[in-house]
Structure 1
Amino acid sequence: MVYRIIGEATMLLHFAFIAYVMFGGFLAWRWAQTFALHVISVVWVIGLAIVNILGVALYCPLTYVENWARDRAGQEGLPQSGFIDHYLSGVVYPQDHLGLARAVLLTCVLISWAGYFWIRTRRARVDQDTAATVHT
């Protein structure tokens, strides 16, 4: 029973990580200290995608944990194609639209990062103007 719970919790954590990669940049608009973690997460996902495109079978550590827990619980683990193909492809988006799904994900990231830098620049200007007003 414990291993089944670990498997399910890992699956949920995996979904949460994907959601964070897609939308975490928007969180940084409010909590700037989260931006570095979001950059690391995005770099990890891009690196993993590139390695897999090159033909090297490398999985996210969460995939290994989920497979380990499900095996111990007597359940079938994820297929060789991994988490994305099992839970998302053909469910959230059509099977043959992985490239489009990646483009949408990247677009969300780029929009969130552009907004982050715009907000940070604007706040810096406001702070600079405020400091100049106080000193005069």
Structure 2
Amino acid sequence: MGYTLLIVAAVSAHYAFLAFGVFGGFVAWRWPRLIWVQAAAALWLLAVVVVGLECPLTWIEDRAREGRGQAPLASGFLDNHVAGIFYPHGFEWLAQIVVVALVLTSWIGFALLQRYNRLRQLDARGDAADHHLV
């Protein structure tokens, strides 16, 4: 039972991390300080895909499977838990393009919102200074 819970926890943490790495930039529109955490998550995801780094969560899942007397999965989380569910097998390249587009859109939107907020603050300070002079 303990190893099963560990597998479920590792897979769940994987999904949460993947979701944050892809969509966290949009969350940062509301909570701007998260942008650096999301950028680090997105860069980690990029390194896993491009360089082929093994994720520690995959290692935990594989050790839990071994603890249950099962063989580790042949490949990583994306191949075993994402491909075929969120996109068809064989279309990884399209999924990667969509992910890059989502992350870049969230970052561009974040930058534009930050610029808008700064201009609004400067305008508010200018209006306050103008009222102070009157």
Counting only pairs closer than 5 Å after superposition, residues 100-111 of structure 1 correspond to structure 2 as 100-111=94-105
- Structure 2, unmatched stretches of 5+, are none
- Deviation per CA, 1:56-114: give whole Å up to 9, x if none: xx3111100111122112334322x2111111212321111000000001111011111
- Deviation per CA, 1:12-31: give whole Å up to 9, x if none: 11011111111100000000
Cα separation, 1, equivalents of 2:84 and 2:127? 58
Task: Indicate the structure (1 or 2) with the bigger Cα radius of gyration.
Answer: 2
* 3-state SS of 1:95 partner: coil
Cα separation, 2, equivalents of 1:85 and 1:48? 12
Cα separation, 2, equivalents of 1:24 and 1:66? 24
Q: Which residue of 1 aligns with 2:24?
A: 24
- Structure 1, unmatched stretches of 5+, are 53-57
Shift of 1:127: 0.4
Cα separation, 1, equivalents of 2:4 and 2:90? 31
1:90 equivalent to 2:84? Answer yes
Cα separation, 2, equivalents of 1:8 and 1:77? 14
1:118 equivalent to 2:112? Answer yes
Q: Which residue of 1 aligns with 2:122?
A: 128
Cα separation, 2, equivalents of 1:44 and 1:118? 24
* 3-state SS of 2:91 partner: helix
Please report the RMSD computed on the Cα atoms of aligned residues, expressed in angstroms: 1.2
Question: How many residue pairs end up in the alignment?
Answer: 130
1:73 equivalent to 2:68? Answer yes
Cα separation, 2, equivalents of 1:112 and 1:60? 24
Q: Which residue of 1 aligns with 2:40?
A: 40
Cα separation, 2, equivalents of 1:4 and 1:90? 23
* 3-state SS of 1:30 partner: coil
1:59 to 35, 54, 59: 54
Q: Which residue of 2 aligns with 1:55?
A: none
